[in-house]
Amino acid sequence: MIVATAGHVDHGKTTLVRALTGEDTDRLPEEKRRGLSIDLGFAYLPLAGGAPLAFIDVPGHERYVRNMAAGVHGIDLALLVVAADDGPMPQTREHLAILERLGAPQLLAVLTKVDRVAPDRVAAARAEIDALLAGGRFAGAETIALSAQSGEGLDALRARLVEIAQSVPPRAANRRFRMHVDRAFIVDGQGLVATGTVLSGAIDIGSEVQVLPGGLRARVRGLRANRAEAARAIAGQRCALALHGLDRGDVERGDTLVDSGEAALSPRIDIELEPLGALPARTGTVGVHLGTAQLAARLSRFGRFARLAFAHPVSTCKGDRLLIRDPGSHRLAGAGTVIDPMPPERGAARPQRLAWLESIAGKSADEAFDALLDGEPGQVDARWFASSYHLPPGELQRLEAARDLAAFTLRGERNLMRAARWEALCARLEHAVGDWHAAHVDAIGPRPAEVGAPLAAVASSLIAQGRLVREGACLRLPGHRPVLSPQDEALWRRAAPLLASGGARPPRVHELAPQLEMEPKLLAEFLQRAARAGRVHRVAANRFFLPETIDRLVGLAAALDADSAGRGFAAAAYRDRSELGRNLTIEVLEYLDQAGYTRRAGQLRRLRTDSQEEKRPRWGARTSNPERGV
Ligand SMILES: Nc1nc2c(ncn2[C@@H]2O[C@H](COP(=O)(O)OP(=O)(O)OP(=O)(O)O)[C@@H](O)[C@H]2O)c(=O)[nH]1
Ligand SMILES: [Mg+2]
């Protein structure tokens, strides 16, 4: 069990820890000289047949309240120390507020220096403490009166601590290793040692850790858990890690150590906000206590929620508690709970976004997973989710296995959706394409935007399943063939051989028109209809190519690309190989670029390979950028 002291300066915190453990936690020369704690102190009380009690002694002076805040996250129990002669004082209140907000699970009040006062003052001070706690999270907490000087009451406190230690629930086992660093120092022969309270998971000698936010990685070469040499430290223990390969300055208080897996890291976080004092009405600069770090941030409020934007990335997890200070007065102005450790940059105030935050606020990983799947838009980014909750890989698998889900790729990330919902999206698109076919029998099929394709991934999935076919920029049902009117069909039978006879240089519209004894304008209109039906490709305003001709021209580009050893080919090389002549070469190459067969970079072109998993278009020009796709 980890126990932290709290309370006003000089009320006897350090003396109490010494009386319990025999250790003096005021080690700094300046602390000795001034008779005052400045930084955190650490001491242990061995218990027979169990883990020792680990004490974190905090300074009471108002100037060092940031050190206090760094010391009390991740503890199991707070000892709020109040001197009987003074009673509650300003930092008693401030520390209590911090403990309430940072989520200390339990609090025990300790009334010290009772040797200095008369018995009726002890009773009065008890009443003052009860009144102080009333209405807060620790209302009704027990007060133990004692004197660290005479030893009176110490046994009662010790016995109570042992009792509480036995009832402390084990920490959740389903999160990965994480520890905010509260001290880092060099030990001769060991190198850099970083200490902290293990918040979640476990860490072993030999494993790799990351130092966040910087991202340095190091191997654990030495380890202590609750000060004893050990092979492993687990959540709820004080831990010291000797980190191989790191040097002074590589790790500092405020950094976070995590295992080697992916962890949330972002210059902005979205929080649920609890206003306590002088908070900016809408936006403003604030001070933030986050883990053991002290940072400046820009606060933007959105009702119950707020965004904190930092100058550098921070690593948080969903559910992390933080404190907000007024940057001028340093007074506690608010508290927060992290809801999204990696929010998208834009759209923070959108109603959908706030509803989304609302749906997962205060929820466990399991609950939030369901809430996201059942909410809008009903999809969960798997990597975001696992990082936000710092889940081990098996946990996400467990969540997935317990539900009937469909997985798909969205903006390069694996996303999950309830299978029934996903199938409904697929069926809706399939039907929309069918309806479109019915309304446009002479056309290949709709562009995705014309049928309101909800997600690119829906169309891709249907294509992969063979339920839709991609034709250039269009979609069609596998069975759909565009039909021409009988007149157009008859005309096509005459026109197709003429187009074919021209090879790579089919006749232009005004050359073809006299051969077919037609007005060029009417012929152009007919060829447009044929293009819509996928019979020809419109390469330029007056030039239509048969699909097999396009295939040959693409083959030529592929051959030149293959010969270029990865550099790409020039238009002149294509002209020489195709013998198309300068102007037509440019027209053809521009068509190939625009249709997505080739990609132009400066004067050179390469064959596109990034969309190879997609079916190469055979009919119809691909006029949209395939990267944006459907
Ligand atoms: N008579 C009496 N004096 C005490 C008792 N406990 C602490 N003191 C004295 O009170 C003074 C302050 O004690 P500390 O333990 O340093 O107080 P602290 O709360 O750690 O102070 P900061 O760390 O600076 O906030 C010291 O001179 C102690 O000897 C007690 O139970 N009885
Ligand atoms: Mg002290």
Window from 48-52, 238-242, 380-384, 491-495 with minimum mean pLDDT: 48-52
Tell me how far CA of residue 445 lies from CA of 341, 430, 437, 593, in angstroms: 42, 12, 6, 22
d(CA 461, CA 222) in angstroms, rounded, equals 50
Classify each residue of 187-217 as buried b or exposed e, where b means 16 or more C-beta atoms within 10 Å of its C-beta.
Answer: eeeebbbbbbbbbbbbbebeeebbbbbeeee
Window from 10-14, 366-370, 533-537, 557-561 with minimum mean pLDDT: 533-537
Strand partners, 528: none
Q: Is 9 in the pocket of ligand 1 (CB under 6 A)?
A: yes
Rounded distance from Cα 212 to ligand 2 centre (Å): 30
Strands (E), 245-282: 256-259, 266-275
**pLDDT bracket for residue 453 (50, 70, 90):** low
Rounded distance from Cα 83 to ligand 1 centre (Å): 8
DSSP secondary structure string for all residues of 435-450: HHHHH-TTSS---GGG
Q: What is the pLDDT of residues 513-531, one digit of tens each?
A: 999 999 999 999 999 999 8
Residues in the chain: 630
Q: Is 86 in the pocket of ligand 1 (CB under 6 A)?
A: no
Q: What is the pLDDT of residues 216-242, one digit of tens each?
A: 999 999 999 999 999 999 999 999 999
What pLDDT, on the 0 to 100 scale, is given for residue 612? 36
Cα Rg of the chain, angstroms: 35
More confidently predicted of 628 and 159: 159
- Mean pLDDT of the region 89-103: 94
Q: Which bound ligand lies closest to the C-alpha atom of 92?
A: 1
Minimal-distance CA residue to ligand 1 atom 3: 113
Structure tokens at 62: 């108002």
Among 9, 10, 56, say which to mutate for ligand 1: greatest number of ligand atoms within 8 Å of CB. Answer: 10
Q: Does residue 443 register a pLDDT over 90?
A: no
The residue type at 599: R
> Closest ligand 1 atom to the C-alpha of 116?
1
Q: Which bound ligand lies closest to the C-alpha atom of 61?
A: 1
Minimal-distance CA residue to ligand 1 atom 8: 12
> Closest ligand 1 atom to the C-alpha of 37?
23
Nearest to 326, CA basis, from 288, 373, 281 = 288
Rounded distance from Cα 276 to ligand 2 centre (Å): 27
Q: Is 10 in the pocket of ligand 1 (CB under 6 A)?
A: yes
Minimal-distance CA residue to ligand 1 atom 12: 10
Rounded distance from Cα 182 to ligand 1 centre (Å): 24
- Mean pLDDT of the region 323-344: 93
3-state secondary structure of 197: strand
The count of other CB atoms within 10 Å of the CB of residue 27 is 12
- Is residue 444 within 8 A of residue 399, CB to CB? The reply is no
Q: What is the pLDDT of residues 283-304, one digit of tens each?
A: 999 999 999 999 999 999 999 9
Q: Is 289 in the pocket of ligand 1 (CB under 6 A)?
A: no
> Closest ligand 1 atom to the C-alpha of 91?
25
Q: Does residue 621 register a pLDDT over 50?
A: no
Q: How far apart are the first and last CA of the chain?
A: 55
- Is residue 320 within 8 A of residue 280, CB to CB? The reply is no
What pLDDT, on the 0 to 100 scale, is given for residue 447? 85
Window from 29-38, 291-300, 590-599 with minimum mean pLDDT: 590-599
Rounded distance from Cα 113 to ligand 1 centre (Å): 8
Mean pLDDT for the chain overall: 91
Q: Is 335 in the pocket of ligand 1 (CB under 6 A)?
A: no
pTM of the predicted model over 0.75: yes
Q: Is 95 in the pocket of ligand 1 (CB under 6 A)?
A: no
- Mean pLDDT of the region 258-276: 96
Structure tokens at 373: 């799947």
Q: Which bound ligand lies closest to the C-alpha atom of 91?
A: 1
What pLDDT, on the 0 to 100 scale, is given for residue 258? 97
More confidently predicted of 343 and 174: 343
